[in-house]
Amino acid sequence: MAAALSTDRLVMRYGALLVTDDVSLDVRPGELHAIIGPNGAGKTTLINQLSGELAPRSGTVRFDGQDVTRLRVDQRARAGLLRSYQITSIFEEFTVLENATLSALAAAGHPWRFWQPLLASKAAVGAAQEALALAGLAELGHVPAGELAYGQRRQLELAMTLAARPSLLLLDEPMAGMSPQESRAVTQLLSQLKRRYTIVLVEHDMDAVFSLADRISVLVYGKLMFTGTPDEIREHPEVRAVYLGEEAVHGDAQRHS
């Protein structure tokens, strides 16, 4: 089966520091592919290269069979490769619905409308409302995004990505800083999104990763150490030693719950 998203020998350096070390990754259509690794393993840097915010020193990124290595972020986004941010990046002055609608409109076409209100574009508003409902924000459409609580901001962050009707989602720590309840809600949301979208998930919450992921890739010091199913990861001695350290997977999971 052709990969939805793949990298071939991707290399990225900051000065002498090798942050992405010859990474060749395959993400299959429809799978939820988690990327884990200790802090500083280069997960966000890898996501930034997949989304187009960083250009790799060498290697290629292919999306839907096309070489997108040289495409800009917005070009990849319009092709259906959408990302969410680890640091919430919403438009605080706009309402929740406006945030999501702008995202839907951006993916669907161009912003060159100088008279008709944004909220008059029915298709975009429809997509936005659908995404807000999915993310559990249906009731909050009229609230200014700046007034949202932290967990709700993270939900909006997700909803904005969904409103664009992506074919592939790059989620950079969607549960960062969430309370256990909020994390469980997002885990549930992601399990609903699974199969509908191909998802690349970077996440520290091991409970979420092991319950959601079809396959997991372990990144250590920029190197792709191993890719496998959650069970294979649990049993992999090297992964246990390097990434999970002294703690067993279960111990780690308990600490997070």
For residue 154 the two structure tokens come to 């993270």
* Residue 70 DSSP one-character state: T
Residue with tokens 């969410």: 84
Measure the CA–CA gap between 33 and 202, rounded to whole angstroms. 9
Nearest to 172 by CA among 55, 74, 50: 50
Measure the CA–CA gap between 169 and 167, rounded to whole angstroms. 7
Residue whose CB is less far from other proteins, 200 or 213: 200
Residue whose CB is less far from other proteins, 50 or 216: 50
State the nearest-atom distance from the C-beta of 146 to other proteins, in Å.
Answer: 8
State the nearest-atom distance from the C-beta of 92 to other proteins, in Å.
Answer: 7
Measure the CA–CA gap between 135 and 198, rounded to whole angstroms. 17
Residue whose CB is less far from other proteins, 119 or 225: 119
Assign 224 to helix, strand or coil: strand
Residue 55: φ, ψ to 5°: -95, 130
State the nearest-atom distance from the C-beta of 140 to other proteins, in Å.
Answer: 10
State the nearest-atom distance from the C-beta of 63 to other proteins, in Å.
Answer: 14
Pairing of strands 81-84, 168-172: parallel
Residue whose CB is less far from other proteins, 11 or 138: 138
State the nearest-atom distance from the C-beta of 141 to other proteins, in Å.
Answer: 9
Residue whose CB is less far from other proteins, 3 or 160: 160
Please, which residues have CB within 8 angstroms of residue 144's CB and are 6 or more apart in sequence?
A: 92, 93, 94, 95, 96
Contact residues: other proteins, CB under 8 A = 51, 53, 72-74, 77-78, 82-83, 85, 89-95, 98, 102-103, 105-107, 110-119, 121, 142-144, 146-147, 160, 164
